[in-house]
Structure 1
Amino acid sequence: MSDDAAPTAPALLGPIEVRELAERLGVSPTKKLGQNFVIDPNTVRKIVRLAGVEPGDRVIEVGPGLGSLTLGITEAGADVTAVEIDHRLAAELPSTVRAMQPGVFADPDAPRFRVIRSDALELTAEHIAELPAAPEVLVANLPYNVSVPILMQFLELMPSLRAGLVMVQAEVGYRIAAGPGSKEYGAPSAKAAWYGEWGIAGTVSRRIFWPVPNVDSVLVSYVRSDESRGSEPERVLTFSLINSAFAQRRKMLRQSMQPVLGPLERAVEVLEAAGVDPMARAEQVSIDDFHRIARVHAASEVR
């Protein structure tokens, strides 16, 4: 290689590129949108590696911001759909990807990157139907203030998602991945378990963000269950039971579930028929138990 050969452009954003890009766009990270931009390429590659992203995977990303994680995913050869609420960032993202990884747009008829300008919580089935193919992997640095609602929304909206890795506030991550009997176990844990298996895949330093957050973050992995757990009406009823049980988590199930199951005698009857102790409390009940209660309750209502 000759001395005067042009240097290779970086494929990922570092701290200098992130700040220069933000300054040029007049963007200041805001707490309202839960924005903390990742500025460390090594962490980006770690996230992509732990997510198991492979060439050809169809990835959906939430809150791509300036594109730090986006570029790590496209670098791995995946097809990326990014959902971005900030109109300035959404408009700039394609240009950033094209400048740093032009190969992503090598096929003009089938580019490997696109942006949906939307609030993630307002994403609809119509948005998904307009994509070339349904997303199969979720990889995201989720906005801390709405991470659980977004996660639940995406899992319900996209049954095509077979796996995922999300970066969330540590407290929230441990709650999502918790199992029955642990102090972190709650409604988000039980609802997440409806869809598949969850676990803590790793931790990340606060220093990889700009601005540096005042909370710790973890990486939470997801693998969808091989078989669908139940019908949509069953899911809705099961989630109602979960909400009711955890709304009064200090009470026994025979009391906390009455808003859904009915009076005390009726609630005890359903719980016993489902093989669940009426005197148990919400944190002791698995998603299998909640689902079984829902099925028994629905069947008895039909009679």
Structure 2
Amino acid sequence: MELLGAARVRELADRLGLRPTKTWGQNFVIDANTVRRIVRTAQVGPHDDVVEVGPGLGSLTLPLLEAARTVTAVEVDPLLAGQLPLTVTELAPDLADRLHILHADALTVRELPVAPTALVANLPYNVSVPVILSFLARFASLQRVLVMVQLEVAQRLAAAPGSKIYGVPSLKAAWYGEVRLAGTVPRAVFWPVPNVDSGLVALVRHNPPEATASREQVFACIDAAFAQRRKTLRAALAGWAGGADRAEQALRAAGIDPRARGEQLGIDEFARIAAALSPAPESSD
């Protein structure tokens, strides 16, 4: 099957009068080896129903269709959403029935035509973390994620406790699964060429930590801890807990040193804190 190289991508863009926009984070992959590598690294197979966010002109969509059972492409740009099925019909007519197009903003999507097993995408840099976390939250069927994002974002998502770049994205991703940096991608494989490097980040879903706290409670605890990440947890959680003393009591109940900082703890420890810690009830006059 013919994949989209640099010449074909530019030809399509010229035909459509397309000028890539930073607003939607449009940087199109023009290297066939890169998209083959992404599909291979994602371990997409004939039993997978893939969701792809931001398919653009279809560089990654074509090899995904070849490997997967179905591909649901979520595209916010109406021009690209309209062109994608035409490109697939032209270059891979035998695979066209595997493709579902959803013209929508990925951050607002609540339903998909097929329950996805994998999220595989070249994500727009400006919404990459919200897209990953929202799709994991909304679609319990998702078992794997392999996305290309800004390298700094990939490194933050895969960071371990104690690292300078470890923070809220690292912990929230860890709630859903095991995260790793799966490789780097040179700038030259994109058109237009971005001014940052890219990385592949992989996530394999696992059960959330065993705790009585909900995901929302745990995430609220994480947000509070990192809003003032240089402070001790006793101080950082005081506002959310209803006072520093109450925060300390909950931290000790969870087996956490109140002098510790959020960047030292893993997701299991935050789950224990949230289970022991709930905001103080509002007083009424």
**Runs of 5+ unmatched residues, structure 1:** 1-9, 106-110
CA distance in structure 1 between the partners assigned to 2:248 and 2:208 by the alignment:
28
Correspondence list, 1:115-134, <5 A: 115-124=101-110, 127-128=111-112, 131=113, 133-134=114-115
Q: For 2:14, which of 14, 18, 23 is the aligned residue?
A: 23
CA distance in structure 2 between the partners assigned to 1:18 and 1:219 by the alignment:
22
User: Is residue 156 of structure 1 aligned with residue 137 of structure 2?
Assistant: yes
User: Is residue 255 of structure 1 aligned with residue 243 of structure 2?
Assistant: no
Q: How far off its partner does 1:284 sit?
A: 0.4
CA distance in structure 2 between the partners assigned to 1:115 and 1:238 by the alignment:
35
CA distance in structure 1 between the partners assigned to 2:211 and 2:192 by the alignment:
43
Correspondence list, 1:41-60, <5 A: 41-60=32-51
CA distance in structure 1 between the partners assigned to 2:257 and 2:211 by the alignment:
25
SS of residue in 1 equivalent to 2:214: helix
SS of residue in 1 equivalent to 2:260: coil
Q: Give aligned-pair identity as a percent.
A: 55
Cα 1:11–1:210 change in 2 (3 A) is: same
2:215 maps to amino acid: R
SS of residue in 2 equivalent to 1:146: helix
SS of residue in 2 equivalent to 1:178: coil
Q: How far off its partner does 1:282 sit?
A: 1.1
Q: How far off its partner does 1:11 sit?
A: 2.4
The aligned residue for residue 141 of structure 1 is 122
The aligned residue for residue 82 of structure 2 is 91
The aligned residue for residue 177 of structure 2 is 196
The aligned residue for residue 108 of structure 1 is none
CA distance in structure 1 between the partners assigned to 2:129 and 2:115 by the alignment:
22
- What TM-score, normalized by structure 2, do the two folds share? 0.95
Q: How far off its partner does 1:285 sit?
A: 1.2
The aligned residue for residue 82 of structure 1 is 73
Residues 241 and 279 in structure 2, CA contact (< 8 A), matched pair in contact too: no
CA distance in structure 1 between the partners assigned to 2:209 and 2:117 by the alignment:
18
2:166 maps to amino acid: Y
Correspondence list, 1:169-184, <5 A: 169-184=150-165
Per-residue CA distance 1:224-276 (angstroms, 9 max, x = gap): 00x34468961001100110110100000001011221211111000000011
The aligned residue for residue 218 of structure 1 is 199
Task: State the aligned residue count.
Answer: 281
The aligned residue for residue 98 of structure 2 is 112
Per-residue CA distance 1:54-104 (angstroms, 9 max, x = gap): 113100000000000001101224310000000000011111111111111
SS of residue in 2 equivalent to 1:81: strand
CA distance in structure 1 between the partners assigned to 2:59 and 2:17 by the alignment:
17
The aligned residue for residue 287 of structure 1 is 267
Residues 211 and 272 in structure 2, CA contact (< 8 A), matched pair in contact too: no
1:188 maps to amino acid: P
Cα 1:222–1:270 change in 2 (3 A) is: same
- What TM-score, normalized by structure 1, do the two folds share? 0.89
2:101 maps to amino acid: V
Q: For 2:187, which of 183, 203, 206 is the aligned residue?
A: 206
Which 10-residue stretch deviates more, 254-263 or 265-274?
254-263
Residues 11 and 75 in structure 1, CA contact (< 8 A), matched pair in contact too: no
CA distance in structure 1 between the partners assigned to 2:235 and 2:103 by the alignment:
45
RMSD, aligned CA: 1.7
CA distance in structure 2 between the partners assigned to 1:164 and 1:151 by the alignment:
8
The aligned residue for residue 240 of structure 1 is 220
Residues 107 and 131 in structure 2, CA contact (< 8 A), matched pair in contact too: yes
Residues 13 and 19 in structure 2, CA contact (< 8 A), matched pair in contact too: yes
CA distance in structure 2 between the partners assigned to 1:38 and 1:62 by the alignment:
14
The aligned residue for residue 3 of structure 1 is none
2:4 maps to amino acid: L
